[in-house]
Amino acid sequence: MLQVATIKNNLDKYVNGLQKRGFKGAEELLNDVLTLDENRKRIQGELDEVLHESNKIAKEIGQLFKQGKKDEAEKAKTRTSELKQKSKTLTEELNGIETSLTKHLYNIPNIPHESVPVGNTDEDNELVKLKDKNIPNLGDHKKPHWDLIEEYDIVDFELGNKVSGAGFPFYKKQGARMVRGMINYFLDKAAEAGYEEVQPPVVINEASGLGTGQLPDKEGQMYHMEANDLYLIPTAEVPITNMYRDVILKQDELPVKHTGHTPCFRREAGSWGSHVRGLNRLHQFDKVEIVQVVEPEKSYEVLDEMVSHVENLIKSLGLPYRILRLCAGDLGFTAAITYDFEVYSAAQEKWLEVSSVSNFETYQANRLKLRIKNKEGKKELAHTLNGSALALPRIMAAILENNQTGDSIKMPEVLHPYLGFKEITRR
């Protein structure tokens, strides 16, 4: 959430930043925010004066009665009643303005970092790095992963559809072990990099969704349990980052580094086609997440560190990959900058997104009221960052497709100790 004081002091910067995103009505909306804030301050000032006068008169009433000045005391009591009613009216008006102001701020996205390229679609994203020398030539045995998983009987979409619905597959046999092995490998690599592992809940309350910006922006994409007013998480970022909602961290407690594996749930339904077929898009999938809370002046150094961590994971799996810096129009609602990682799927002959690494700067911290107290006692908003390290389904799809031989599917060497097998075979 943007800070009103920062908007006021940098209005042109924020208008231009939102316009860079393609956000319509940016100047009008930001001016509405500033007007609401001025009204809030004015009414708060009036309310403070009324309360001050009311408290002053309340103290005087007892003295007037003691002095036998009954008429004056009764007049003072009448004035107190008037002030009480005025206080109630002003409080209601103030609450209404504060609610409206918060609603406005919740619906304004973060502004992009100056390095974010201009653009509106994924075609405008900037290619940062391309490593495609190991794209395999599959020859006559080239099959997409949805054919391979049926042939090797390692994922069952029909059974998932029967039990839950489309987009909720069963992983079986070597497929199930492959998922478990990748999760453990990714978690171990995160631990080696200094991330503390947590196993968070997979349901969150509304305050948590608001805290990291999934609500109200992505409300329609989240599974909502109305009876309990709880949401299934779209990513482990949400519960892990919310561990620090309403927390003041000491400078020597930073950086905060957490990793966690969870299933992730997303209602988004894609149109029919190869881009959503098989493991390409699911309603439930597993992901290992890395999250950091850091001092503002160090966050872009940390962003580079997190990008390097994800890159090394993909390298270790032997997959062709590329790194993209997302354009302003393709940024997520809460991000100031995002790097996307895509791996090449040789059988589909397309790039598949497998990770996003983002810096939110103070946007989430302001919603969360997550602050840092430095050694001088001064408080400031923290910067939060997160990344997928990694999302499993498309990584699995690329491994299956790129390593097929016609007789088996070879597994990346780094996964051998985690799987208990070196290749997937027909059984």
What backbone phi and psi angles, to 5 degrees, belong to 387? -155, 150
Q: Is 268 annotated as a binding residue?
A: yes
Q: Is 289 annotated as a binding residue?
A: yes
Pairing of strands 350-361, 383-391: antiparallel
Helical spans, DSSP H, in 1-140: 4-9, 11-21, 26-66, 70-106
Q: Residue length, the chain?
A: 427
Which residues lie below 8 Å from residue 392, measured CB to CB, with a gap of 6+?
179, 182, 183, 285, 286, 287
CA 83 – CA 51 distance, rounded (Å):
8
105 contacts 6 by C-beta, under 8 angstroms: no
Q: Is 322 annotated as a binding residue?
A: no
Q: Is 425 annotated as a binding residue?
A: no
Q: Is 259 annotated as a binding residue?
A: no
Structure-token pair, residue 74 = 């009764």
H/E element, 179: helix 173-192
Q: Is 266 annotated as a binding residue?
A: yes
Q: Is 356 annotated as a binding residue?
A: yes
Tell me how far CA of residue 186 lies from CA of 147, 183, 245, 420, in angstroms: 26, 5, 26, 16
Q: Is 388 annotated as a binding residue?
A: no
CA 381 – CA 296 distance, rounded (Å):
8
Tell me how far CA of residue 245 lies from CA of 104, 110, 201, 321, in angstroms: 21, 19, 15, 35
Binding-site residues, in ranges, read: 235, 266-268, 289, 353-356, 386
Binding-site residues for L-serine, in ranges, read: 235, 266, 289, 386
Binding-site residues for ATP, in ranges, read: 266-268, 353-356
